[in-house]
Each structure stands twice: as C-alpha cells, then as structure tokens.
Amino acid sequence: MLGLIVVAVDGSDGLAAHAVLDELLGVPVLARSIAGALPADESVTGVLVVPQELCDKVQADVVERFGFDEIDRVVSGGPGMAAAVQAGLSALPDDVETVIVQHGAQALCPMGLVERVVQAARDGGAAAPGVRLLGTVVNAAGDDVEAAAGGHNLRQLQGPQAFAVGDLKEAVGNAGDGAAVSQDPAQWALAAGGKLAVIDGDADNMLLRDAADVGRAIEVFSRRAVEFPFVYPRDLLPDDPLADALAPGDSGEGQGASE
C-alpha cells in the first residue's frame, strides 16, 4: 500500500503552520500542497500532521471542504520536521510499503511529478525531485570562500519525496530533533547510509517560505494553471443531478404501492 504524510508544522522549513491555511488564488496553500502529492493513478492512505490547536480547523476547512478523502487522519506533531514525520509514520497502517512525504508549503508541484518520484523510490528505496543549481556555486564561511566541488552536478532537492517505509523509519529515528537538525527527509536518508534517486524536478516547484514566495507562486499559476491539480471547495461545486435523483427519500420512491 502507498502512504502519504503531509506536514504542516512550525519549526520546519517553509511557511509556518497557520500561514499554509492562507489562500493562494482562493484555495489554501495546504490544500494545493496535498493535491500535488496525490498520485492520479493509485489510491493512498494519508496522514496530515499539524499542531494540536489546528487539528479541528484543518479537518473542517481543508480535508472536508476540499474533499480530500485520501486523508484518513489528521494528527498532531512537531515542532520540526523530524517529530512531525515520526507522528505521521506512527499513524499509518502497518501494510504501507512506500510512503510519500510532502511539506504543506510545497504548493507548486505539477501533475505527473509525484508518480515519477514514487516509481523511482520503488526501484531504489528513496527518491526526490531536484533541479540544477545555476551559475557559480561556492562554499562560503566568513572570509573563507572556495568553489564547490562538482558544482555542475549540484542539485537542489524538492518535494514530494518518497521512501520505502522501513528506510524512512530508520532515517527519522537517526535524525533527532531541534533547530540544528536538517528539515529535509532525503538528507536524513543519505545520512543513514541509504541511496537516493534524484529525478528531474521542476524549476517552479519551490517551497514557499515567505510572502514574497507566495507572490511568485501567483505568477506561476497565471502561466501554468492547467499543469496543476484542480482544487475546488465542495460547498461551491454545482449540485450533481444524478446524485440528487438517487438520494434516499425521493418522492418517486415507493409510488407504486399507492396506486
């Protein structure tokens, strides 16, 4: 079974937990991030990890309102990515073999990317999209500056990422917690001695970290709206005439008995 953990907690890279509930072109950032991590051709069992005080609000305003039936549980976790991913793993069913990890502020994931990430993880144990770092890359520590080794091969990792669930459990168990700990699950996997497949990412698939990034995201959507999953609140969708016709208690039900 394929699992999904979406993390929206404080202390991780990206927008704060309350900020991912702000709207991006009429839809919460968090809702767009969830949609981008859902494969189109495979069902998932999903866990959404948020601060305790936001659990009920997120359940109502994001999961239920936008129809994310794939999210089976909203649990509390964090602060920090390691603690949140650990909470998500604990909430997943035991039969999950591969798990997608998505940051709640990764709202610009185009359709088709998560499927490629999952396939690469199934082939090699862990996978993440990455984009080439352009220009000259250096290591700079104060006045000590040197060219980064293998600069033309350097990649900036993105999300969603995917892992064999056993490998992720081992990696997060070794990650620890706190401000000094990396907030990137792919880096935990590498630090634990695992292999990571880096597939071609997308230059616009940036993690939103501040208001300026949200502004850039609006520009991206203006150019590429058809390339992102459609997300719309259930309460604003038009009524389904077929569903209305089949609803229990319709006046046509049982008419024959009165004739």
Q: Give me the average pLDDT of each 10-residue run along the chain (259 residues).
A: 97 93 96 98 96 97 96 95 95 97 97 98 95 78 68 85 95 68 87 92 96 96 95 80 63 46
- pLDDT, residue 94, reads 95
Predicted pLDDT of residue 229:
96
> CA 168, CA 257: separation in Å to the nearest integer?
61
Domain count, the chain: 1
d(CA 70, CA 91): 14
> 144-147 and 138-141 as β-strands: parallel, antiparallel, unpaired?
antiparallel
Calpha distance 175→187 (Å, rounded) = 9
CATH number of the domain bearing residue 141:
3.90.550.10
Q: For 107-145, write each residue's pLDDT tens digit.
A: 999 999 999 999 999 999 999 999 998 777 777 777 777
Q: What is the pLDDT of residues 154-179, one digit of tens each?
A: 889 999 999 999 999 999 987 765 54
Burial of 104 (0-12, 13-18, 19+ CB in 10 A): buried
Closest CA to 187 of 47, 82, 38: 82
Report which of 237, 221, 231 is spatially closest to residue 34, judged by C-alpha positions: 231
State percent of the chain over pLDDT 90.
72
The range of the structural domain enclosing residue 254 comes to: 2-258
Query: Which pLDDT does position 147 carry in this prediction?
Result: 66
State residue 259's pLDDT score. Answer: 42
Q: Encode 60-98: b = buried (16+ Cβ within 10 Å), e = exposed.
A: ebbbebbebebbbebbebbbbbbbbbbbbbebbeeebeb
Residue type, 127: A
What pLDDT was estimated at residue 112?
97
Cα atoms in the 13 Å half-sphere on the side-chain side of 82: 17
Per-residue model confidence (pLDDT) at position 133: 84
